[in-house]
Structure 1
Amino acid sequence: MSTIQSGGGSATATSSEKYAVDTNGNVFKVPDFTIKDILDVIPERCYERNLAKSLYYVVRDIVCMVSIGLFTHKLAYPWLFQESSSSASVQLAKFVFWLSYTYVQGLFSTGLWVLAHECGHQAFSDYGAVNDFVGWTIHSYLLVPYFSWKYSHSKHHKATNHMTRDMVFVPPTAEEFKERRGFVGDMLYNHTGDSPLRTLGELLLQQLGGWITYISTNVTGQKYEGVAAWKQNHFYPFSPLYEKKDSLYIFLSDVGIVTQLLVLKLWFDRFGGWSLFINWFVPYIWTNHWLVFITYLQHTDPTVAHYDADEWTFAKGAASTVDRQFGFVGPYIFHDIIETHVIHHFCSRIPFYNAREASDAIKKVMGEHYKSSDENMWKSLWKCAKGCQYVEGDSGVLMFRNVNKFGVGAAADGSKKHN
Structure 2
Amino acid sequence: MGAKQTVDPEKDFVPPEFTVKELRDCVPKHCFERDTMRSFSYVAYDLCGVAVLAFCASYIHLLPLFLRAPAWVLYWVCQGIACTGLWVIAHECGHGAFSDSKTVNNVTGWVLHSALLVPYYAWRHTHSQHHKNTNNLSRDEVFVPRTKSYRGLQGKPSTPAWMEDSVFEDTPLYHLAMVTAQSLFGWPLYLYRNASGPKYSQGASHFNPTSVLFRAEQFGQIVISDIGLLLTIAVLTCACWMFSAATVAFYYGVPYLMVNFWLVTITFLQHTDATVPHYNDESWNFVRGALCTIDRDFGWILNTCLHHINDSHVAHHVFSQMPHYHAIEATEHLKKKLGKYYRFDNTNFLLALYHNFKHCQFIEDTGSVLFFRNTSTLAVSS
Q: TM-score, normalised by structure 1?
A: 0.83
Counterpart amino acid of residue 149 in structure 2: E
1:364 CA drift (Å): 2.1
Q: Which one of 352, 358, 376 corresponds to residue 324 of structure 2?
A: 352
2:152 aligned with 1:199, yes or no? no
Shift in CA distance, 106/390, structure 1 to aligned 2, threshold 3 Å:
same
1:282 CA drift (Å): 0.5
Q: Is the 8 A contact 1:107 1:334 kept in 2?
A: yes
Q: Which runs of 5+ in 1 are unaligned?
A: 1-6, 11-20, 184-192, 407-415
2:312 aligned with 1:340, yes or no? yes
Shift in CA distance, 328/8, structure 1 to aligned 2, threshold 3 Å:
closer
Q: Is the 8 A contact 1:403 1:417 kept in 2?
A: no
Q: Which one of 322, 331, 334 corresponds to residue 294 of structure 2?
A: 322
Partner of 2:69: 95
Q: Residue deviations 1:371-392, cap 9 Å, x none?
A: 0011111111121012101112
Q: Quick one: distance in 2 between partners of 1:417 and 1:366? A: 30
Counterpart amino acid of residue 198 in structure 2: Q
Q: Which one of 263, 267, 271 corresponds to residue 299 of structure 1?
A: 271
The alignment yields a C-alpha RMSD, in angstroms, of 2.2
Partner of 1:17: none
Shift in CA distance, 353/401, structure 1 to aligned 2, threshold 3 Å:
same
Shift in CA distance, 276/393, structure 1 to aligned 2, threshold 3 Å:
same
Partner of 1:30: 15
Partner of 2:85: 111
Larger Rg: 1
Q: Which runs of 5+ in 2 are unaligned?
A: 158-168
2:31 aligned with 1:46, yes or no? yes
2:58 aligned with 1:73, yes or no? yes
Q: Which one of 168, 173, 178 corresponds to residue 152 of structure 2?
A: 178
1:244 CA drift (Å): 1.2
Q: Residue deviations 1:237-288, cap 9 Å, x none?
A: 1111111111110111011111111011111111222220111101000000
Q: Which one of 43, 48, 65 corresponds to residue 58 of structure 1?
A: 43
* Percent pairwise identity: 38
Q: Is the 8 A contact 2:57 2:72 kept in 1?
A: no
Q: Quick one: distance in 1 between partners of 2:6 and 2:364? A: 20
Counterpart amino acid of residue 62 in structure 1: L
Q: Is the 8 A contact 1:344 1:355 kept in 2?
A: yes
Deviates more, 1:157-166 or 1:205-214: 205-214
Q: TM-score, normalised by structure 2?
A: 0.91
1:158 CA drift (Å): 0.1
Q: Quick one: distance in 1 between partners of 2:58 and 2:249? A: 14
Larger relative contact order, structure 1 or 2 (CA cutoff 8 Å, min sep 6): 2
Q: Secondary structure at the match of 1:175?
A: coil
1:120 CA drift (Å): 0.5
Counterpart amino acid of residue 151 in structure 2: F
1:145-224 correspondence runs (5 A): 145-178=119-152, 194-224=170-200
Q: Secondary structure at the match of 1:166?
A: coil
Counterpart amino acid of residue 339 in structure 1: D
How many corresponding residue pairs?
367
Deviates more, 1:114-123 or 1:28-37: 28-37
